[in-house]
Amino acid sequence: MNNKIRNAIMPLALSGAFLAANVSSAFADSQGPVLAQAVPAAACQKQGRPAGPPPSMMDRMQQALNLDQKQVDEIKTIKIQARSQAKPIMRDLERNRFEFKQATTADNYDQKQIDKFTQAQGDDIGQLMSLKAKTVNMIKSVLTDDQKVKFSRMAKKFKGKNKMRIE
């Protein structure tokens, strides 16, 4: 019976982990992906782009949306605030993931503990999703109507490139 319960819970836990990873990427450093590295010059020439690290999301937004300096500053402030609000939630989520893993691998299986940690992870993910929606809405409030349309197109294009990510 314990194996059946574990087999039923693991896909749920894994999907929660993938969702949390995706949500947390919304609050990643504005300098681009954490693992982004400089691409060798030969590879860049082959791809038809300049050598060096890829441009940050903020740089791409600024260029694509033709943001003025005031908009850039406001968006940076919004992103900094969102990251500071997301950090404690992410810490809590990581702690709950760890405790969930400990509970699922413990010698004494306790369904109440599993349910508690599963619920806590869901609550954390919900808070992060809500914060992401609030942040995007605040960013849109800084944009002109034309920029909002372009921003929406950029978001759809980004989601299309990242189909492996759960949203």
Question: Of 92, 81, 93, which is closest to residue 135 (Cα–Cα)?
Answer: 81
What's residue 78's pLDDT?
94
What's residue 160's pLDDT?
66
Cα of first residue to Cα of last residue in the chain, in angstroms, is 32
Is pTM, for the whole model, over 0.75? no
Q: Which stretches in the chain have pLDDT values below 50?
A: 1, 14-15, 17-25, 29-36, 164-167
What's residue 64's pLDDT?
84
The CA dihedral of 149, 150, 151, 154, to the nearest 10 degrees, is 130
